[in-house]
Amino acid sequence: MEQLYVFGTGNATVTRYYNTCFAIKNPENQYFMVDTGGGNGILRILEDMQVSIPDIHHIFITHEHTDHLLGIVWMIRVIATRMKNGKYDGDLNIYCHEALTETITTICRLTLQGKFFKMIGDRIHLIPVHDGDKRQILNYPVTFFDIHSTKAMQYGFTMTLENGKQFTCCGDEPFNPLCESYVKGSDWLTHEAFCLYSQREQFKPYEKHHSTVKDACELAESLGIKNLILWHTEDKNKENREKLYREEGTPYFTGNLFIPEDETVITL
Q: Which residues bind Zn ion (CB under 5 A)?
A: 12, 67, 172
Whole-number minimum distance, CB 184 to Zn ion, in Å?
A: 24
Please say whether the dihedral angle defined by the alpha carbons of residues 251, 252, 255 and 258, taken in this order, is positive or negative.
negative
Tell me if 126 sits within 8 A of 105, measured CB to CB.
yes
For Zn ion, the closer of residues 140 and 156 by Cβ is: 156
For Zn ion, the closer of residues 8 and 249 by Cβ is: 8
Whole-number minimum distance, CB 66 to Zn ion, in Å?
A: 8
Tell me if 94 sits within 8 A of 72, measured CB to CB.
yes
Residue number of the CB closest to Zn ion reads 172
For Zn ion, the closer of residues 9 and 166 by Cβ is: 9
Beta strands, E only, 98-251: 124-129, 134-137, 140-146, 155-160, 166-169, 188-192, 227-231
Whole-number minimum distance, CB 91 to Zn ion, in Å?
A: 28
Whole-number minimum distance, CB 2 to Zn ion, in Å?
A: 24
For Zn ion, the closer of residues 75 and 83 by Cβ is: 75
Counting DSSP H helices and E strands in the chain, the numbers are: 9, 14
* Alpha helices in the chain, H assignment, sequence order: 41-48, 66-69, 71-84, 98-111, 114-117, 180-183, 200-203, 213-222, 241-249
Q: Look up residue 261 and give its amino acid.
A: E
User: How far from the centroid of its chain's Cα atoms is residue 143's Cα?
Assistant: 15
For Zn ion, the closer of residues 14 and 183 by Cβ is: 14
Whole-number minimum distance, CB 235 to Zn ion, in Å?
A: 13
Q: Look up residue 28 and give its amino acid.
A: E
For Zn ion, the closer of residues 172 and 187 by Cβ is: 172
Contacts of residue 242, defined as CB under 8 A and 6 or more positions apart, other chains included, come to: 259, 261
Whole-number minimum distance, CB 67 to Zn ion, in Å?
A: 4
